[in-house]
Amino acid sequence: MELVGDQFMESDLKVLYEDNHLIAVYKPAGVLVQGDETGDPTLMDEVKYYLKTKYHKLGKVYLGLLHRLDRPVQGIILFAKTSKGASRLSQQFREHKVEKIYEAIVVGKPKKAKDTLVHWLKKDKSKNKATVYMNETTGSQEAVLHYEIERTNGKFSLLKIRLETGRPHQIRAQLAAIGCPVVGDVKYGAPEALPDKSLALAATSLTFATATGTTRQELRIPLLSAWSRFVESG
C-alpha cells in the first residue's frame, strides 16, 4: 500500500465488484482492514479515498464494514457504500446467507478427507489468541466450519473451507485443534513463519445477494501460485 502525502494512490486498489450500494476489493496479506493501535494505513481508508476521488465526493465518505480478515490473511472483502447496503448485507451475514469460502495450506494431513468441525472458542484479547474448547464454557462462542482436502502430499495439504460462523481466528484455531495449523501461523503451532509474515490462508470466494435483492453475486479470486510448491508431489 503506497501513500502520496496523506492520500492513497488510487491505482493500488484492486476492485473486484462495485454497484450503487456495495464494493468488494482484494485485501493483500499484511494490510489492516480497519485501524488499530499501530496507526498503520488501512484498507477502509484506501477504499474511501478511491470512492472520494472516483465520484468527486465532498466531505466524508460513508463506508460500512461488513466483515473482517486478519492482518496476515489475504482475500475478498465486501464493504457497503450506503446505509441501505450496510443494513441488508449485515442481515445476510447475521443469518448466514453469505457463503464464505477460504483456501488454506496446512501442515500435515487431516485424518478425514472432509469433515465438519464444531468447537467452542474464547478469545483472549490481551494475547490476541483464541482458545479452543470441545464443550461450551463460560464466555465461549460456538464455531462451525466444513473442510475438504483439495490436494495433499502428506506433509502439507490444501484445504477448501466453508464457514458457518465467523469467530475471531476461527479457521486458524480450529485447524490447529485437529493438529493441522495453517502454514506460517506460529501463533497456533506452525513450526515456522513465512518470510513475509503472512499466512497461507485466503478468502477466495464470496457469494451474496445484492442490496436490491435482484441478483445473487459470486466473487472468486485465484489461489497464490507460490503456494503450490507446498503440495507438490514428492
Is-contact 209 215, C-beta < 8 A? yes
Secondary structure of residue 187 in the 3-state scheme? helix
Residue 212's contacts (CB-CB under 8 Å, 6 or more residues apart) are 21
User: Collapsing DSSP states into helix, strand and coil, what is residue 188?
Assistant: helix
Scanning the structure block, which residue is given the C-alpha cell 451475514?
93
Q: Which set of grid coordinates corresponds to residue 79?
A: 464493504
Place of cell 465518505: 61
Q: Which of 45, 70, 124, 185 does the annotation list as catalytic?
A: 70
The residues with which 65 forms a beta bridge, in sequence order, are 79
Phi, psi of 180 (to 5 degrees): -130, 70
Q: Annotated catalytic, 36? A: no
Which residues carry out catalysis? Answer: 70
